[in-house]
Structure 1
């Protein structure tokens, strides 16, 4: 199993169907678990997906419409029931503080988990760590909504052939990495002499919004883009009216932003299946398109 993958917990929009639960997406990124927009039933979907609550380290809400947050009470209470030891950090639009408080304390339970709140008040970084930088940007929806972008810093990787050329093996490789250089006795080898660039990976999560500049800023160069495709072109007026994207628009975003893998989701219950969503996105984007299904696991593409 990849150590960087998306576990899809739900792919419906306002109304669940027999085959699609309301929203829920767990991005497993090395030691971090980013749970995005847990809708109603997320706790059970995690059970079906074989994912423990202890995998959650961060909770990210785009906005406070029910299909994106009504699973919060169950998830929060499960963290305490399972006695999760590590802190879980929660991010959400600042204007929804009252809603988050209601969701967090929706019923009586013995709260043992360490849930830390970080309301998002503007565009920019909201968290930094070994995983990289988690950024947020405001979207265009009838209520305050944000999208998220996870950016891993660029690094460098050792090239075995270059190490061999300089006769560097064993523990001294670690010394070179720590110090940035190594004196061999005859010459100095710098880290840049035996390494190559290792581009950081990028992930973007875009839910309920009309087309706006923030959509493109979030999606730019994403290795994996998870984006709503609520409507088809025939219902584009409804999409604009209610603050949503069509599958065609999602495809155009992916094409213009150099996205490597496009994940379409958040499908309106008005459509019996999502085959046409793929077709309409593919008219604009020739890359890898995944039509999300409940309980699917979608790998982050290998590094560029």
Structure 2
């Protein structure tokens, strides 16, 4: 069975606390490992989480504020230390290429890992795998920032009862799936006749931003939304000043976009009670809400 889950490595915002490390989120998606916004200490958090560096196949940075990228040097050097054999692709805002270069070569080390840089210059697809596409959209922050959206292509689910009605079983099912049609005993069956649509799964990652159209576009119809909730609504003036979201805003986005599971994170150190974020979000979104804690694992919801 494929494995699709979010491993939360850090949930603090600008300053870490005794219980919250700087940002860090690893999305396991079948054979891929998308590492989003590795802040300071991410390498150690991976160890605590029991995740090997070889699980990382892509590093995706939303922007170049330190709490979202100061873990890059340790992560990239660890790839070389562990002799990770597969290529690892790094996506980041193209305007910050100089920052990435400084992070990548901030100290002397023997680089053996195959790290390939693919900067993000604008909205649209940035990478693709066998059945998925990774997209980016520009957010509204104080420096260039992008959110990411992972979209699995829609497919079809075979219906056993329909197959049985037509006497199709065993290897013949595979032949039908491969060719799209199958002729047995003079009767042709198309795959549409014995299957039903299977929506692809979707994931979105939204960090430092004010509310903007891109937030809604990224969150639209996703199964799992990871989104910053730096402030509570009582401090919405601070959220706007510093270009961040409140828990209420994040929850309203989830409700408007039909999100199935909402993960709130990136909490300001001014708040000490996580329940406040849950209470505020629940007033605006009646779906599944996770107030993220370091080192928790959040599964992508089962297919619809």
Q: TM-score, normalised by structure 1?
A: 0.99
User: Where does structure 1 differ by over 2 angstroms across 4 or more consecutive aligned residues?
Assistant: none
Aligned twin of 1:14: 14
- What residue is the counterpart of 1:129 in the other structure? 129
Residue 209 of structure 2 is aligned to residue 206 of structure 1: no
Unaligned stretches of 5+ residues in structure 1: none
Q: Residue 2 of structure 1: CA displacement?
A: 6.7
What is the correspondence of 1:1-304 to structure 2 with a 5 Å cutoff? 3-304=3-304
The 1:275–1:236 alpha-carbon spacing in structure 2 relative to 1, beyond 3 Å, is same
Aligned length: 304
Q: Write the distance in 2 (CA, Å) between the matches of 1:252 and 1:171.
A: 48
SS of match in other structure, 1:264? strand
**Deviation at residue 160 of structure 1 after TM alignment:** 1.1
The unaligned stretches of length 5 or more in structure 2 are: none
Change (3 A) 1:280 1:2: farther
TM score, norm. by length of structure 2: 0.99
1:172 is paired with a residue whose SS is: helix
Query: How many Å apart are 1:186 and its aligned residue?
Result: 2.4
* CA apart distance, 1:248: 0.5
Secondary structure of residue in 2 paired with 1:6:
strand
Does the Cα contact within 8 Å between 1:6 and 1:26 map onto a contact in 2? yes
- C-alpha separation in 1, matches of 2:163 and 2:131: 27
1:39-95 CA-partner distances (Å, limit 9, x unpaired): 000000000000000000010000000000000000000001111111101100000
Rounded Cα–Cα distance in structure 2 between residues aligned with 1:68 and 1:175: 47
State the distance in 1 between where 2:156 and 2:42 align: 38
Moved more, 208-217 or 159-168: 159-168
Q: Secondary structure at the match of 1:176?
A: helix
Give 3-state SS (helix, strand or coil) of 1:127's partner: strand
CA contact (8 A) 1:61 1:69 kept: yes
Cα distance in 2 for residues equivalent to 1:126 and 1:186: 46
Q: What whole-Å deviation, never above 9, does each CA across 1:93-122 have from its counterpart, x for those lacking one? A: 000000000001111111011000011000
For residues 157 and 58 of structure 1, the distance between their equivalents in structure 2, rounded to whole angstroms, comes to 29
Q: 1:131 to 1:76 in 2, by over 3 A?
A: farther
CA deviation profile, 1:238-266 (whole Å, cap 9, x unmatched): 10000000000001000000000000000
Q: Name the CA shift for 1:147/1:74 in 2 (closer, same or farther; >3 Å).
A: same
RMSD between superposed Cα atoms in Å: 0.9
How much has 1:131 moved relative to structure 2?
4.3
> Which secondary structure state, in structure 2, belongs to the residue aligned with residue 120 of structure 1?
coil
Counterpart CA distance in 2 for 1:129 and 1:43 is 26
d(CA) in 1 for partners of 2:75, 2:250: 29
Q: How many angstroms apart in 2 are the aligned matches of 1:49 and 1:113? A: 22
Q: CA deviation at 1:273?
A: 2.2
